[in-house]
Amino acid sequence: MHRLRITKGSDGSLVPNDKNTTIESTGLRNGSNVTVKDLGPQIAWRTVFLVEYLGPLLIHPIVYVLRPYIYKLPPFSFTNVPPASDLQKLSMACICLHFFKRELETVFVHRFSLATMPVRNIFKNSAHYWLLAGLNIAYFTYSPASPTQMHSATDPLALIGLALFAIGELANLQTHLTLRNLRPEGTTERGIPKGLGFNIVTCPNYMFETMAWVGMWMINRSWSTLLFIVVAVAQMAAWAKKKERRYRKEFGDKYKKKRFSMIPGIV
């Protein structure tokens, strides 16, 4: 059922493909034209999220455990790989905690407006997390040449980063719970979000997500983490702007328009 997309022939608008849709609610009449397209094999969005976040959860511990062997190979070619530093252990703990939280939210918190997506897209979606957040960050963070090998886990920058990470993760969870409660189970209806951060920006969940990752970067100080942040923030900013436009269109004058969709004073 979910692999079919139905659109009206009159204006090309989408006809909701769910069991609660009636002919009357779509505006179709006897003799109306519709277009039906087969979208191909589908996969549940919840499954997609679980697969995406599983990548870093597997890759970071594997790279960490295999440090004595990985970094003897080019391009690092260390003769003797020193034991992992406390800062490297802290970095791995934070990243694994972040993605473990994501997995739990996927199972217990998130409600999805769309049931499925084309199976082929899972590879593109997963690459962002498996490659950029997984292999990219892990390989350079646990290297003996990384700043995480050379600095203490108790230096001021690491402690500030840990505080930012903790605040960002907890606040992000709170915004996800707020968004969950706006959508009754089994429906695609939405309300206007209110609460922590929502009076400042459209998507405070993205703002707090960014805060947590900046904290992560302050802990491991790796350019690979900074690269992931830049890519992730660019994508979240595009989503946040789109959501602001959708809120304005959907709720009209009931919605208090936001000047910034994600980060105050920036975007």
Residues 34-63 have pLDDT tens digits of 776 656 688 999 999 999 999 999 999 999
Same domain, 33 and 47: no
pLDDT at 66 over 90: yes
Tell me which amino acid residue 30 is.
N
Provide the mean pLDDT of the chain. 90
Task: Verify that 11 and 105 share a domain, yes or no.
Answer: no
| Residue 8 and residue 99 in one domain | no
pTM of the complete model: 0.87
The per-residue pLDDT for 108 is 95
- Quickly list DSSP for 200-252: T-S-HHHHHHHHHHHHHHHHH--HHHHHHHHHHHHHHHHHHHHHHHHHHHHHG
Element (H, E) at 103: helix 86-108
pLDDT more than 90, % of the chain = 73
In this structure, the dihedral spanned by the alpha carbons of residues 207, 107, 6 and 193, taken in order and rounded to 10 degrees, is -40
Regarding whether 171 and 80 lie in a shared domain, the answer is: yes
In this predicted structure, the answer to whether residue 17 has a pLDDT above a threshold of 70 is no
**What pLDDT is attached to residue 9?**
64
pLDDT at 165 over 80: yes
Count the Cβ atoms, other than its own, within 10 Å of residue 148: 26
Structural domain count, the chain = 2
Q: Does residue 262 lie within any of the structural domains?
A: no
- Residue 58: the pLDDT is 98
Residues 74 and 190 in one domain: yes
pLDDT tens by residue, 96-117: 999 999 999 999 999 887 778 8
DSSP summary character for residue 82:
P
Residue 36's SS3 state is strand
Q: Is residue 104 part of a domain?
A: yes
The whole domain housing 191 covers: 42-254
| Distance, C-alpha 159 to centroid of its chain | 25
Identify the pLDDT of residue 226: 97
Question: In what side-by-side order are the strands of the sheet with 14-15?
Answer: 14-15, 4-8, 34-38
Q: Which two tokens stand for residue 163?
A: 């505080």
Whether the pLDDT of residue 250 is over 70: the answer is: yes
Is there a contact between 199 and 259 (Cβ–Cβ < 8 Å)? Answer: no
Higher-confidence position of 29 and 63? 63
Selection from 48, 38, 37, 201 nearest residue 112 by Cα: 48
- Looking at the domain assignment, is residue 166 inside a domain? yes
- The owner of tokens 């080019």 is 74
To the nearest whole percent, how much of the chain has pLDDT over 70? 85
Contact between 215 and 169 (Cβ < 8 Å): no
Q: What is the mean pLDDT of residues 125-150?
A: 95
pLDDT class of 21 with cuts at 50, 70, 90: low
Q: Has residue 204 been placed in a domain? A: yes
CA dist., res. 22 & res. 261, Å (int) = 35
From residue 69, alpha-carbon distances to 11, 65, 252 in Å are 60, 9, 59
Distance CA 246, CA 250 (A): 6
Measured in residues, the chain has a length of 267
CATH number where 213 lies: 1.20.120
Neighbours of 122 (CB within 10 A): 15
d(CA 92, CA 103): 16
What does the pLDDT average to over 6-33? 66
What phi and psi, each to the nearest 5 degrees, are found at residue 7?
A: -125, 150
Strand 34-38 and strand 4-8: the pairing is: antiparallel
